Each structure stands twice: as C-alpha cells, then as structure tokens.
Structure 1
Amino acid sequence: LSLKPYLAEAITEGYESALDLAVRETPLDYPDLPPSCPFNGEQIFDPNFPKMEE
C-alpha cells in the first residue's frame, strides 16, 4: 500500500496548520505568508533541498 496518493493532501493540511500556528505565535499575519505551501512533495523529501550556497 502506497501513501503517495495522500501526499498532496497531507502537505496541504500540514501547511494550513503551520500557517495558523505561525500567525498565532509570531507577529506575522496571513497576508505576509504564502497562501499555500511553496514546496512540492519531491522538494520536501529531498535531503539536498534547498541547495545551500557555500
């Protein structure tokens, strides 16, 4: 059984929860933050993402 079909939904739900937490815990407000997760599943699970400049 693969969980891949649920990945996009999990990212969306997780990001929405994180967004709510960020607004509650920081001086940022919703317009200050991206309305949806700016990263896709491939990027999130890539151990080399983001590429760090030396």
Structure 2
Amino acid sequence: MYPENTFRRCSTCGFTHTHPDNRENEAFNCEKCGYQNHADSNAAKNIRLRYLRRNQPGG
C-alpha cells in the first residue's frame, strides 16, 4: 500500500492541498502548476522524495 496521498500530491510543485481532481484514472494533472504524468509515476516520485528527506544526514 502506498503512503497516504502520494497519488494526489504533485511531485513537482508539492501542491499540499491534495485536491481530488488531481487524479483521474491513471492520469495525474496538477491543478496548481499543470504538471502531467502517469499517476503511478507521480506517486513513485513522491515516495522517493519522502525517503530522501527522511534519510538526509543531519547537520
């Protein structure tokens, strides 16, 4: 199972108000910046970004 909202959050601009209209079937369309991609690819980018943020060395 994917972490919550990874399919609806824009991996490009980080549109945080996860608008339900962002996802229609397999297409992802950001209502804020216009980014378009396959919904699974967008979700994978969000999961990757979350992983990288959690695993950054502390400063």
Q: TM over 0.5: same fold?
A: no
Q: TM tier, shorter chain?
A: 0.3 to 0.5
TM-score, structure 2 as length reference: 0.33
Q: Comparing both structures, which one devotes a greater share of its residues to strand?
A: 2
RCO (CA 8 Å, sep 6+): is it higher in 1 or 2? 1
Q: Comparing both structures, which one devotes a greater share of its residues to helix?
A: 1
Greater C-alpha Rg: 1
